[in-house]
Structures are given as C-alpha cells and as structure tokens.
Amino acid sequence: MTTLETATTGAVTTLTLSGRGKRNPLTPALLSAIVSACDDLRVRDDVRVVVLRGAEGVFSGGADLMSFMAAFQTTDRRTVADLGRRAGDALASLPQITVALIEGHCVGGGVVLAAACDLRWAAEGAWFSIPELDIGLPLTWGALPRLVQLLGESRALELVLSRRRFDAKEAHAMGFVAAELSGDVEATFQERLAALASLPKNALRTTKTQTLAIRAGTFDSTTDADALLQALADPETAAHAQAYMLRRKR
C-alpha cells in the first residue's frame, strides 16, 4: 500500500508518495490522504512551497485499479471514483506554490497529480504516459481541462488519444514541465527549491492568488495596484528589495 509521507523543513513541506518498491501506485486511501494533507497545509502560514514527489526515484505508476475495485465494494462508488479529482483540486487550490519533482516514470493518475501542481521539474530520463484509453477508460479526475490549459487542445488530445510515451525532453519542449534537471538531480532540485522558498511570502502568495484567478478566468488587473501597495507595506518585501538594490550596486 502506498502511503503519504509528509515532512516540513523551513518553509517547504514535502509530500512523498511511498509505495515501498511498488512504483508508488495511487490508491483511494492515498488520494484521501492527499486531500487531508492539503486541508492542513491550507492554513499553514509558515509554509511557502509544497513539493509533491515519489519515493525511490519514481513519481507514480498511476492508479492501482485493484484497490479501486475493492473500494467500490465497501464505499459509495461515486465517492471513490471522485477521489482523484478531489486530490487534484486540493493540490491546485493550495495558497502555496506547488512543485512536482518527477523522476522515473509518471503514468496516468501520476500525470493528473503532476498537472495539478504549479510547476513541474523533471529529472533527465523521466518519462510520461496517459494510457487510460488503452484500458478502455476515459481520462477523468479533472485532468483533461488542466492538460488543455497547459498544452492547448490539439496537443493534449494527441497525448491522450495516442497513449504514447513522451520523455522529459519532449515534456519540456511542449511546456508541460518547466525544467529538465540533469546531473545531480537532487542537488539541483534542492538549489532551485531553496531559491524559490526564499522569496517574500507576500509575493509568492499574491502570485498564486493571481494564477488561480487567471485559471478560473476571473483575473481583474485593476487589483494590481492594491497588490503592489500591499507588497510595499510588507517589511519582508522591503528588506528583500533593499538587498536586491545593494547587490545591483556592487
């Protein structure tokens, strides 16, 4: 059974899918755990960045169909069928910036969860596939709208309908992942993560709020002036700006 391991270091909370050598399959219990973890994180003012990753160099092999079939026998079927959407929405709506670190393979439901994050960083050699139609199932869990928003309708549909694998390089070229990490992936990842988490909380939270509004089609640029004034009144932002200007002078 895959468990969700949660660890907070400084301003970063990491959610790790841990399947104990079984490619971190997604089960109803795991998806419920993601929803619960996000509920807790939503009120964590000290956390600036949330990371989603898999254990043992693999992101996720996708849904564990047998565990879902078993859950259908004991729990309301629609509730079980909706868990993936709820987990994706929980990740997508967090006030913190979310980053998916993708190593190894990222299949089906793994792609769904990664797509729900704000940023995706993929290790060189990582690969992706969306094989749901091979199983005879439509792509659900709210994934198709997110993929269309990220990639455009034609490219998203091609990946879903072809069911083909694509690697980190292609994922980067098409804009699904923001960066392909090579060499010492963990060191590079931690360096990027530290730089992101060091940014002023006000700027990060405002950026996330604006991003959520853009996704929902409700962004109103007339509020930008208020956001700017709020940032200027923030002590951490002022210190950050002063440090930036000192670096420029040197």
Better-predicted residue by pLDDT, 133 or 244: 133
- Residue in 94, 89, 105, 65 with CA at minimum distance from that of residue 141: 89
| Domain edges within the chain | 3-197, 201-249
Q: Is 138 exposed, middle or buried (0-12, 13-18, 19+ CB in 10 A)?
A: exposed
- φ/ψ of 13, rounded to 5, equals -110, 130
Q: Give the H/E segment covering residue 128.
A: strand 127-129
For 54-106, what is each residue's pLDDT tens digit?
999 999 999 999 999 999 999 999 999 999 999 999 999 999 999 999 999 99
Mean pLDDT of the chain: 96
In single-letter form, the type of residue at position 214 comes to: I
CA 156 to chain centre: 18
- End-to-end Cα, the chain, rounded Å: 54
For 210-233, what is each residue's pLDDT tens digit?
999 999 999 999 999 999 999 889
- What pLDDT is attached to residue 202? 95
- The pLDDT of 179-198, averaged and rounded, is 97
Q: How many residues appear in the chain?
A: 250
Q: Is residue 93 within 8 Å of 114, Cβ to Cβ?
A: no
What is the dotted CATH code of the domain comprising 3-197? 3.90.226.10
- Residue in 61, 63, 52 with CA at minimum distance from that of residue 85: 63
For 122-137, what is each residue's pLDDT tens digit?
999 999 999 999 999 9
Euclidean distance between CA atoms 237 and 221, whole angstroms? 21
